[in-house]
Amino acid sequence: MSEKRMISYETEFFNLLRRDSTAREQVVLVEGSRNLFTRDRPRLVEFAKELARLLPQAMFRTGNAPGADEAFAEGVRTVDPSRLQYVLPYETHGKKKIDPHSQVYPLDAIPDSELKEACQQAMEATPEIAGLIRLYMKLRVKNRSTVKALYLIRDALKVLGSRALSLAPATAGIFYVDPRKPDSGGTGHTIRLCRLSNVPVWNQTRWMK
């Protein structure tokens, strides 16, 4: 796929990142639904590969979930694994799947002040999960009742970044959503978090031409 053809798909996406390239670090979220159609997987891999080639200064951030996250990560990894940032709900989450040259940021490494900020953003993005997040903040343990909260707070960290960890905020988001329920689950939650932070997002209805 030529650069000219790629840019014709989403001119504003490339203009956004190139415009900001001297002002701040470029961070592109590449993630999405676990319900990835088999026929679409090669397209996610190839698209991420092209993004990594066309945006050599950008970092690519993922949550390391099965499905779309893994496919996008595979594409970036074939170009440069050191430009992959994995933001994890806890330190051991899927570590065996992560290239040793990639960057890893577990939720439990951020200070309490940033954890509370991430919790507040997560609850604002998806109010119905507020009780679950408050339960985790009260107990501060990972168990069957609280583990889902870790994933939802982690999603906020992916978007907000972390001053303590020198993790820059997201610049843009590339998503693969479940077409049957595009606003559901962790993917819909992360897209709402992006919108709260004025981070532009593109799903496959726009980039998968």
3-8+26-90+100-207: CATH number: 3.40.50
Q: Where are the domains of the chain?
A: 3-8+26-90+100-207
Confidence grade of residue 13 (pLDDT, cut at 50, 70, 90): low
pLDDT for the residue numbered 5: 46
- Cα angle value 12/60/75 (rounded, 5°): 95
pLDDT digits (tens, 9 = 90+) for 113-139: 999 999 999 999 999 999 999 999 999
pLDDT for the residue numbered 7: 43
Mean pLDDT for the stretch of residues 55-60: 92
Residue 50 has pLDDT above 80, yes or no: yes
Expressed in angstroms, the distance from the first to the final Cα of the chain is 12
pLDDT digits (tens, 9 = 90+) for 151-202: 999 999 999 999 999 999 999 999 999 988 989 999 999 999 999 999 999 9
Q: Given the structure tokens 């960890």, which residue do they identify?
A: 165
Instruction: Please list, in sequence order, all residues whose beta carbon lies within 8 angstroms of the beta carbon of residue 61, skipping any fewer than 6 positions away.
Output: 27, 28, 29, 30, 31, 84, 85, 86, 87, 158, 170
Instruction: Please list, in sequence order, all residues whose beta carbon lies within 8 angstroms of the beta carbon of residue 39, skipping any fewer than 6 positions away.
Output: none
* Total-model pTM: 0.89
Please give the share of the chain, as a percent, with pLDDT higher than 90.
74
Rounded distance, CA 153 to CA 137, Å? 11
